[in-house]
Amino acid sequence: MNNSATFAPEKRAEEVENACRGQCYVPAIDVFETSQELVLTADVPGATADQIDVRFEDGELRIHAPVTKRVSNEQSFLLQEYGVGDYFRAFRLGENIDPTKIEAHSNDGVLTLRLPKVEAAKPRRITVNVS
């Protein structure tokens, strides 16, 4: 990223008190930067859009979603690797991000957040005039 002060991982899930019930999972996240915005993608398999809670407060972006059981209690497992708990991640955002224009979309277990930059942080072309 061009401006490391714009986006910084905050606390690990295991360091955040009262953020999760039981087991807490740290979703894998990719972030890329364009001249207009930061785009964040997070893997949250099993979480539906209405379960995912994205909040921005005091310069911190938080992602929280429950991981629920995939099967009923009547089924018995031959192998069980999928746990129950919550996804949680938090990031500190710089002043270059416009929090009023953050957008979130979920599709097939992938959460995509678009974090637009404030106008002052976007590159602009300066016209050179003839004197």
Name the region of 33 (left: φ>0; alpha: ψ -120 to 50; beta: rest).
beta
What does the DSSP 8-state code read for residue 97?
Answer: B
Question: Domain holding 13: CATH number?
Answer: 2.60.40.790
Residue type (1 letter), 115: L
Model confidence at 21, pLDDT cuts 50, 70, 90, reads low
Model confidence at 55, pLDDT cuts 50, 70, 90, reads very high
In a domain, residue 131? The reply is no
In a domain, residue 63? The reply is yes
CA distance 99 to 107: 22
Q: What is the dihedral of CA 15, 19, 22, 23, to 10 degrees?
A: -60
Overall domain count for the chain? 1
Q: What is the pTM of this model?
A: 0.76
User: 90: domain range?
Assistant: 7-71+78-117
List of long-range contacts for 72-80, beta carbons under 8 Å, 24+ apart: none
